[in-house]
Amino acid sequence: MPKTKKQTEKKKEIKTKISREEFEKRVLELADKGLTAEKIGEALRKDGIHPKEFGKISKILGSKYISPDEKNIQEKLEKLERHLAKNKKDKRAMRDRERISAKLRRLRKYLSK
Helices 68-86 and 91-112 cross at an angle (nearest 10°) of 160
Asked if the model's pLDDT at residue 11 lies above 80, the reply is: no
Whether 35 maps to a domain, the answer reads: yes
Q: Mean pLDDT, the chain, as a whole number? A: 84
Mean pLDDT (whole number) for 68-85: 93
**Residue 13 CA to chain centroid, in angstroms?**
24
Q: Are residues 91 and 51 in the same domain?
A: no
Contacts of range 42-46, beta carbons closer than 8 Å, 24 or more positions apart: none
Whether 1 maps to a domain, the answer reads: no
Please report the pLDDT score of residue 10 as a whole number.
47
Please report the pLDDT score of residue 93 as a whole number.
96
Mean pLDDT (whole number) for 90-110: 95
Which band of pLDDT confidence, cut at 50, 70 and 90, is reported for residue 63? confident
Higher pLDDT, 48 or 97: 97
The residue out of 48, 64, 80 marking a domain boundary is 64
Whether 32 maps to a domain, the answer reads: yes
Asked if the model's pLDDT at residue 8 lies above 60, the reply is: no
Q: pTM of this prediction? A: 0.61
Whether 86 maps to a domain, the answer reads: yes
Q: How far is CA 22 from CA 4, 47, 65, in A?
A: 40, 13, 19
Whether 96 maps to a domain, the answer reads: yes
Asked if the model's pLDDT at residue 56 lies above 50, the reply is: yes
Q: Are residues 21 and 60 in the same domain?
A: yes
The count of domains in the chain is 2
Domain extent at residue 81: 68-112
Q: Are residues 28 and 53 in the same domain?
A: yes
Whether 7 maps to a domain, the answer reads: no
